[in-house]
């Protein structure tokens, strides 16, 4: 029996060691699905690794989950887009310091059939009101992500609680027009396409999404659709094992002219997805 | 269920435990061999065996063949009783030769016929050099020609000096093979005597009835 | 995925998708072949031996094979021990293990996530988001299957062999080696069943692995990701390979039992 356990532990040691990879320097970054799915990391990370020799392993989760991962010490760096939550993260001592990195915007995506008749509307508030009034299907991520947080903030701003039945839904709008799916942006877009529903998306994911079907941008350009990204090193005081030096190197690189240039150069269909604003006041 | 009994197994002779089905023959054999422990009461043995030699071996009615070759079946048994690995091969070959199984040596044991498997079981048991060989109705599942072969093998073993204790419900077999007879019925020892005496002049009514071919219980 | 220059300009998209299920078979503006369906693109991906694609397959096989080996090392002796031993509470143990066969993978994933997290009891090893964590999670899923199937097989065999093995002086503990070897074909089938289950699962490895590109991205988690990105070609390609592996494993299991009967009876 003991012989067996010896073999088991030896093999576990072999696996956990993973000789070749254990020698590599790497950091773990908890980030969002929007940054991953858009292809940004595939573009900028090789540049960072080339310069520093540090491999970056990205665990892509919703913003809420990413912050949670940093809180538990399972990541070295957190890179998300929910400013209020990021600031709280630093205040509570889990993050060392927050740096603004880049921004883009959200867009309201909708089906070509446009049941709520909001295509081309410039005011997000009236668009949302129209959707709620008509009971047109709306897909929500419902996963504590940055996009979800932004979406909820917008509903709150127009004074609508989408989970509650809306007063007087004419034209046969059903009560179940608001559909929380608890999944990432890609899944939400897939679902919206299948249901012919509206969905709030970040522009980057939308542009790189390959299954657009009959979906199109319904509303864009409203100032309230602004989407800021920030990065933080997980506080080594809370989690001593955090790779503080390499993690900070990544944070520094992101806000450095080199990193910012790399981010700015990332384009899909000739369109830039993320606009850099490190060091900008109030970002 | 076996009632208390006492009898003698004489060295070098063939003892046949005879009786109708359900008499307790298999039970008795297993108790003697030590495969079963009595729930109440004890098994007393007055045997002594030289150190290092396996005292007993047993052959069952349905031979248990391991899922490996004929040869490996024998070496497995030898290794289990502690034969040093240097001798495993030679003793296995010896056993197979002795009983005419060399041609089957590499064949998967389970693919042999019933009679061949039983021969292997006996060869395997013999390889262990037992002083006393138990056999529990060894030919009950075999056809007459296989039975004849097995009985011949047992005759050879007897000639070598191996003590045999065999159970059977077959009167004819008992007549052919027995030196001594222990006759059981309903878990009790009814009669024990030399074979000649048992068959020519049975002392008990049940034995008489059994030999005459009547149903006994 | 940047392996194929996904940033290349795409022509105008003029088709209407009649529901999601049709999407794989409709022409789509994929980067490599204009007007080729995702299915054809998937086949092209496989033929081309795309390195990222191959990396995902290789990692999946490495993780699952290691998990099954670990499971075999632990589960086969344990199952055999359970089969031949008699102790109070044995029936309870058997029922419990049978029940664990149906353990939901996501529950296993969540459990190990909590255990292996830096904030958890086993955090010191730093195993979360690594292939080792995935191996552990998969092994945990497969272990009950192997133990239960082994126990069943060995118990049946022990009933057959017990008297003979006892008559040559072999005790239950020593008999385990003999029993395990004799049951080798059935046990191999049990391990293949475990392999099949591990290969197919996505929940546990997603949670404990984190689906990190090039590090913990396996076939199943990659399919989930690429589907959510709308990159159906890659998802389909991986799916084809996954189904292929499953078929092969089942063919192996079938062949094994046939060979077993033919060669050893």
Percent of chain C with pLDDT over 90: 58
Q: Domain boundaries in chain B?
A: 14-37+54-212
**What DSSP state is assigned to residue B84?**
-
Closest Cα partner for B127 from B101, B92, B81, B161?
B92
> Would the CB atoms of A37 and C228 count as touching at under 8 Å?
yes
Q: Averaged over A144-170, what is the pLDDT?
A: 81
Of B35, B65, B108, the CB nearest to C163: B35
Secondary element (H or E) of residue A55 = strand A54-61
User: Tens of pLDDT along C77-99?
Assistant: 999 999 999 999 999 999 999 99
**Chain B residues near residue C184 by CB distance under 8 angstroms:** 67
> Would the CB atoms of A213 and C118 count as touching at under 8 Å?
no
Q: Using 50, 70 and 90 to split pLDDT, how confident is the model at A145?
A: confident
Note the pLDDT of residue C130.
93
Domains defined along chain C, listed by start:
34-264 (1.10.3720.10)
Tell me the longest C-alpha to C-alpha distance in chain A: 74
User: Tens of pLDDT along B129-150?
Assistant: 888 899 999 999 999 999 999 9
Alpha-helical (H) ranges within chain B are: 25-33, 70-80, 85-98, 114-127, 144-160, 171-177, 195-200, 205-212
Note the pLDDT of residue A268.
85
Measured in Å, how far apart are chain C's first and last C-alpha atoms?
Answer: 52
> Would the CB atoms of A15 and C135 count as touching at under 8 Å?
yes
Q: What whole-number distance in Å separates Cα of residue C122 and Cα of residue C130? A: 14
Domain at A25-103+228-276, CATH class: alpha beta
Note the pLDDT of residue A160.
86
Q: Are the C-beta atoms of B149 and B5 separated by less than 8 Å?
A: no
Closest Cα partner for A8 from B96, C74, C219?
C74
> Would the CB atoms of A190 and C227 count as touching at under 8 Å?
yes
Q: Which two tokens stand for residue C164?
A: 């003979």
Note the pLDDT of residue C33.
42
Q: Averaged over A16-45, what is the pLDDT?
A: 78
In this structure, how many other beta carbons lie within 10 angstroms of the beta carbon of residue B42? 9
> Which regions of chain A carry the CATH code 3.40.190.10?
25-103+228-276, 105-225
Contacts of C208 by beta carbon, 8 Å cutoff, 6+ apart: C109, C112, C113, C116, C128, C129, C133, C134, C136, C137
Nearest-CA distance B74 → chain C (Å): 11
Of C16, C73, C130, the CB nearest to A214: C16
Q: What whole-number distance in Å separates Cα of residue B183 and Cα of residue B189? A: 6
From residue B58, give the alpha-carbon distance in Å to each of B9, B35, B88, B148, B173. 15, 10, 20, 20, 19
Q: Which two tokens stand for residue B129?
A: 């050099």
- The 3 state secondary structure assigned to C62-77 is HHHHHHHHHHHHHHHH
Q: What whole-number distance in Å separates Cα of residue A255 and Cα of residue B21? A: 94
The fourth-level CATH superfamily of domain B14-37+54-212 is P-loop containing nucleotide triphosphate hydrolases (3.40.50.300)
Number of inter-chain CB pairs under 8 A, B vs C: 47
Best CATH choice for the domain A105-225 from the list 3.40.190.10, 3.30.930.10, 3.40.50.300, 1.10.1510.10: 3.40.190.10
Q: Averaged over B159-166, what is the pLDDT?
A: 91
From residue C15, give the alpha-carbon distance in Å to each of A112, B199, C35, C197. 12, 101, 10, 38
Nearest-CA distance B81 → chain C (Å): 7
Of C9, C225, C227, the CB nearest to A269: C9
Backbone angles phi, psi at A200, to 5 degrees: -90, 130
> Would the CB atoms of A18 and C117 count as touching at under 8 Å?
no
Q: What whole-number distance in Å separates Cα of residue A219 and Cα of residue C61? A: 46
Q: What is the pTM of this model?
A: 0.81
Q: What whole-number distance in Å separates Cα of residue A196 and Cα of residue A201? A: 15
User: Tens of pLDDT along A66-83?
Assistant: 999 999 999 999 999 999
What is chain C's pLDDT, residue by residue, as a tens digit (265 residues)? 444 444 444 433 334 433 445 455 554 444 444 446 778 888 888 888 888 888 999 999 999 999 999 999 999 999 999 999 999 999 999 999 999 998 899 999 999 999 999 989 998 888 999 999 999 999 999 999 999 999 999 999 999 999 999 999 898 888 999 999 999 999 999 999 999 999 999 999 999 999 998 899 999 999 998 888 878 888 998 999 999 998 998 898 888 888 887 877 6
pLDDT at A12 over 70: no
Q: Are the C-beta atoms of B165 and B59 separated by less than 8 Å?
A: no
**Chain C residues near residue A21 by CB distance under 8 angstroms:** 215
User: Tens of pLDDT along C192-232?
Assistant: 999 999 999 999 999 999 999 889 999 999 999 888 887 88
Q: ipTM of the assembly?
A: 0.89
């Amino acid at each position: 029996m003991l012989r067996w356990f010896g073999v088991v532990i030896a093999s576990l040691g072999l696996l956990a060691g993973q000789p070749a990879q254990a020698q590599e320097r790497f950091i773990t970054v908890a980030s969002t699905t929007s940054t991953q799915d858009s292809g940004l990391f595939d573009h900028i990370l090789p540049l960072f690794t080339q310069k520093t020799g540090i491999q970056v392993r990205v665990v892509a989760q919703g913003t809420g989950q990413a912050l949670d991962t940093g809180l538990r010490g399972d990541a070295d760096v957190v890179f998300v887009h929910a400013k209020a939550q990021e600031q709280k993260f630093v205040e509570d001592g889990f993050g060392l310091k927050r740096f603004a990195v880049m921004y883009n915007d959200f867009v309201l995506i909708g089906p070509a059939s446009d049941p709520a008749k909001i295509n081309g509307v410039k005011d997000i508030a009236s668009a949302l009101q129209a959707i709620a009034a008509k009971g047109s299907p709306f897909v929500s991520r419902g996963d504590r992500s940055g996009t979800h947080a932004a979406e909820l903030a917008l509903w709150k701003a127009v004074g609508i609680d989408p989970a509650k039945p809306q007063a007087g839904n004419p034209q046969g709008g059903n009560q179940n027009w608001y559909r929380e799916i608890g999944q990432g942006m890609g899944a939400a877009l897939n679902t919206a396409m299948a249901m012919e529903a509206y969905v709030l998306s970040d522009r980057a994911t939308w542009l790189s999404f390959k299954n657009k079907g009959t979906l199109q941008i319904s509303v864009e350009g409203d100032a309230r659709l602004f989407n800021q990204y920030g990065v933080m090193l997980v506080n080594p005081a809370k989690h001593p094992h955090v790779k503080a030096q390499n993690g900070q190197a990544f944070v520094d690189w992101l806000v450095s002219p080199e990193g910012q240039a790399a981010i700015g150069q990332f384009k899909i269909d000739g369109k830039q997805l993320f606009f850099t604003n490190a060091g900008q006041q109030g970002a | 269920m076996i009632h208390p009994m006492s009898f003698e197994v004489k060295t070098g002779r063939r003892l046949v435990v005879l009786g109708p089905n359900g008499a307790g023959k298999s039970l008795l054999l297993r108790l003697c061999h030590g495969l079963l422990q009595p729930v109440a009461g004890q098994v007393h043995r007055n045997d002594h065996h030289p150190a290092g030699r396996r005292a007993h071996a047993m052959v069952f009615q349905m031979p248990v063949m391991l899922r490996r070759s004929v040869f490996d079946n024998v070496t497995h048994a030898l290794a289990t009783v502690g034969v040093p690995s240097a001798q495993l091969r030679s003793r296995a070959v010896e056993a197979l030769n002795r009983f005419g199984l060399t041609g089957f040596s590499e064949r998967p044991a389970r693919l042999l016929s019933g009679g061949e498997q039983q021969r292997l079981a006996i060869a395997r048991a013999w390889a262990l050099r037992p002083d006393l060989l138990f056999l529990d109705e060894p030919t009950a599942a075999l056809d007459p020609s296989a039975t004849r072969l097995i009985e011949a093998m047992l005759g050879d073993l007897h000639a070598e000096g191996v003590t045999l204790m065999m159970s059977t419900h077959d009167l004819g077999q008992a007549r052919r093979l027995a030196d001594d007879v222990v006759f059981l019925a309903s878990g009790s020892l009814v009669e024990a005597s030399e074979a000649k005496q048992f068959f020519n002049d049975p002392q008990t009514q049940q034995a008489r009835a059994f030999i005459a071919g009547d149903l006994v219980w | 995925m940047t392996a194929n220059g996904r940033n290349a300009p795409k022509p105008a998209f003029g088709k209407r998708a009649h529901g999601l299920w049709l999407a794989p078979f409709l022409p789509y503006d994929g980067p490599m072949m204009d007007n080729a369906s995702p299915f054809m693109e998937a086949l092209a991906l496989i033929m081309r031996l795309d390195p990222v694609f191959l990396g995902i397959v290789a990692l999946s096989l490495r993780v699952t094979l290691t998990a099954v080996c670990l499971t075999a090392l632990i589960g086969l002796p344990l199952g055999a021990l359970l089969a031949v031993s008699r102790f109070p509470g044995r029936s309870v143990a058997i029922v419990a293990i049978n029940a664990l066969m149906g353990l939901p993978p996501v529950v296993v994933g969540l459990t190990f996530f909590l255990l292996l997290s830096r904030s958890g009891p086993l955090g010191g090893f730093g195993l979360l988001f690594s292939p080792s964590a995935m191996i552990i999670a998969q092994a945990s899923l497969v272990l009950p299957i192997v133990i239960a199937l082994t126990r069943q097989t060995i118990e049946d065999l022990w009933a057959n062999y017990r008297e003979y093995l006892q008559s040559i002086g072999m005790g239950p503990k020593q008999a385990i080696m003999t029993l395990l070897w004799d049951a080798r074909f059935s046990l191999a089938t049990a391990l293949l069943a475990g392999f099949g289950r591990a290969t197919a699962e996505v929940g546990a490895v997603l949670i404990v692995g984190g689906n990190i590109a090039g590090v913990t991205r396996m076939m199943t988690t990659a399919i989930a990701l690429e589907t959510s990105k709308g990159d159906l070609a890659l998802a389909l390609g991986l799916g084809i390979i996954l189904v292929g592996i499953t078929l092969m494993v089942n063919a192996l299991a079938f062949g094994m039992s046939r060979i077993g009967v033919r060669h050893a009876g």
